[in-house]
Amino acid sequence: MMFIYKHTIATVILLASVAAGLQAQQDDKVYRVGDPGVVAPRLKQSVQPHYTDEAQAQAIMGTVIIAFEIDKDGKTRNAKVVQGLDASLDKNALAALTTWLFEPATLDGKPVACTAKTEIRFALQ
């Protein structure tokens, strides 16, 4: 009887660990807007990137496209330039994006991570 009891406790602990692992996998999943039940994130706060003096002097204008993720806390992560414009402007666009805050995407009313893409336009006035 004692052996069965220990085995049962070990099984319960193992099952609890597996369940926790599955929950962690679900929590770590990154959704896409358009996935069933996913409500899109909303931008709460953004900062415009710095237009470098060199880029202004060279009259470089255009758009930097950045793909990134928004985590469950509404913070950006894993940002990368998909379409660059100028190395210094790309760098400044990425730096600005890392400060942006969002209302995170939700699934069944719970915050989830999701993918996103944005265009940051640089234009001389």
pLDDT digits 0-9 by tens, 65-94:
999 999 999 999 999 999 999 999 999 999
**Which residue carries 């940002």 as its tokens?**
79
- How many other CB atoms are found less than 10 A from the CB of residue 74? 18
* Same-domain status, 42 and 14: no
* Same-domain status, 107 and 90: yes
- 41 SS3 class: coil
* Same-domain status, 12 and 45: no
Q: Show the domain range for 76.
A: 32-122
95 contacts 49 by C-beta, under 8 angstroms: yes
* Same-domain status, 4 and 47: no
Q: Does residue 41 carry a pLDDT above 70?
A: yes
* Same-domain status, 36 and 25: no
**pTM score, whole prediction:** 0.77
* Same-domain status, 66 and 112: yes
* Same-domain status, 24 and 38: no
Closest CA to 115 of 74, 45, 68: 68
Residue type, 77: R
